[in-house]
A = this chain, B = another copy of it.
């Protein structure tokens, strides 16, 4: 009998007050108002490492949710991803109190030049001793672009073309500028670096001109573990080419399976193997010592949800101003200016049901566009295994309702049960994040685009 595939967990959060549970910051036990304190993050990191999570995954937006009612008032009132602080700066303190936990951070390449960004990520990879990952995003809020002096953000597909060049620049800096043998660090010969083994990358492209060398010596992983969450067809090609970890957020196992299959096809088109990337499906686990206690907890959480806050989030995600619709209006297939049809997933989720604005807002208010898995520990483990087996994902990107109660429940209750079932590891693998995730590394494999570039 072959060993059961083991489930992986990532924690999904953000350096802000209200991430994906609009209104729940006001829950009496919620701790997210402490996001400004290092101690909040070091406590969370220790908890997740105790639960043998692959990593903590930090979302980020540089803009504000101001589509709803053409105003940022609802976002501010309910702390919907605003105020929000920089995600990179909480990683070093979390790294200092952990040994194995990975740190995946979102960083939008539309808004910063690749030369200083490459140095930032190399610095993090050094300081974490090879435990850093980068969630490549191209930005989706016009409000961010406007504050960076652009009239509005670049068109969707243009962003991906620019992103491909951006990645070539940082790949060259990370992978090709310094040979492995460049660093001698020899106090006897008094030579730190052999200059003949350090190369200017000579990049001259459409968007960027970077002639020089990378400023950092090679870090443990060189290129950080690459995360992506793109769901559009251009986004899928981008993921197939670059991503090592993909986050998906789908309301049903059927839709999630289709996305997983699509992604595996995109990987193959790019000459990569299924085993070259991991897929995490988003989910929110709400559990307790018994089914009754879990149900009570879920009802209590729902009490703190806020419809306005939820619609501010949904309007920002989709670009559709839901303030213009009646709460009981049907929402399927609303097209917005950018041609995004994110709302289609609601009718796909349950075609038999009539989706209203209210229903959509209530749906995303817990766990975003992913499922809520609730019930007793046994119930939740059954659902996790069922999703896991039905979809072909490698693990879950776990959202939270109440910080850090949700993750405490997972670590204290769900992880031990999954371990008992042989569905969850009992110790970390050694090495860098890439070695822990793939059992090989620390560098990207030879079939990845970053390893195929030449100067």
Residues on A close to B: CB < 8 A? 15, 17-18, 23, 25-28, 33, 36-38, 42, 62-64, 71-73, 76-79, 82-86, 88-93, 95-97, 111-113, 115-116, 119-120, 122-124, 126-127, 143, 146-149, 183, 185, 187, 190-195, 198, 208-213, 215-217, 219, 304, 306
Partner of A211, one of B79, B146, B187, B198: B146
Assembly stoichiometry (copies): 2
Partner of A92, one of B90, B119, B146: B90
Candidate in A79, A89, A120, A147 with the most chain B CB atoms within 10 angstroms: A147
Contact A215 B92 (CB under 8 A): no
Closest-by-CB residue of B relative to A208 is B149
Distance between Cα atoms of A78 and B63 in the complex (Å): 43
Q: Which residues of B contact A33 (CB under 8 A)?
A: 185, 192
Distance between Cα atoms of A190 and B77 in the complex (Å): 8
Contact B190 A78 (CB under 8 A): yes
Contact A15 B123 (CB under 8 A): yes
Across the A-B interface, the 7 shortest Cβ-Cβ residue pairs = A79-B192, A36-B126, A73-B195, A85-B123, A83-B217, A86-B123, A76-B195
What are 19 A-B residue pairs whose CB atoms fall within 8 Å in the complex?
A: A15-B123, A18-B192, A25-B192, A37-B126, A42-B96, A76-B195, A78-B190, A79-B193, A85-B215, A86-B123, A89-B92, A90-B127, A91-B92, A96-B96, A96-B97, A111-B116, A115-B147, A115-B148, A147-B211
Q: Which residues of B contact A38 (CB under 8 A)?
A: 92, 95-96, 127
Contact A127 B213 (CB under 8 A): no
Candidate in A92, A191, A209, A210 with the most chain B CB atoms within 10 angstroms: A92
Distance between Cα atoms of A25 and B186 in the complex (Å): 10
Q: Which residues of B contact A115 (CB under 8 A)?
A: 62, 147-148
Known: A82-B215, A89-B120. 6 other contacts (CB 8 A): A26-B190, A37-B126, A83-B193, A85-B122, A88-B89, A93-B96
Shortest distance from the beta carbon of A6 to any chain B beta carbon, whole Å: 30
Distance between Cα atoms of A73 and B200 in the complex (Å): 12
Closest-by-CB residue of B relative to A62 is B116
Contact B119 A112 (CB under 8 A): no
Contact B127 A89 (CB under 8 A): yes
Shortest distance from the beta carbon of A314 to any chain B beta carbon, whole Å: 19
Closest-by-CB residue of B relative to A151 is B209
Distance between Cα atoms of A17 and B147 in the complex (Å): 37
Q: Which residues of B contact A194 (CB under 8 A)?
A: 76-77
Distance between Cα atoms of A408 and B159 in the complex (Å): 51
Distance between Cα atoms of A88 and B86 in the complex (Å): 11
Shortest distance from the beta carbon of A172 to any chain B beta carbon, whole Å: 12
Partner of A216, one of B25, B83, B215: B83
Partner of A149, one of B85, B123, B187, B210: B210
With contact pairs A79-B193, A190-B78, A192-B79 given, residues A212 and B96 touching in the complex (Cβ less than 8 Å): no
Closest-by-CB residue of B relative to A150 is B209
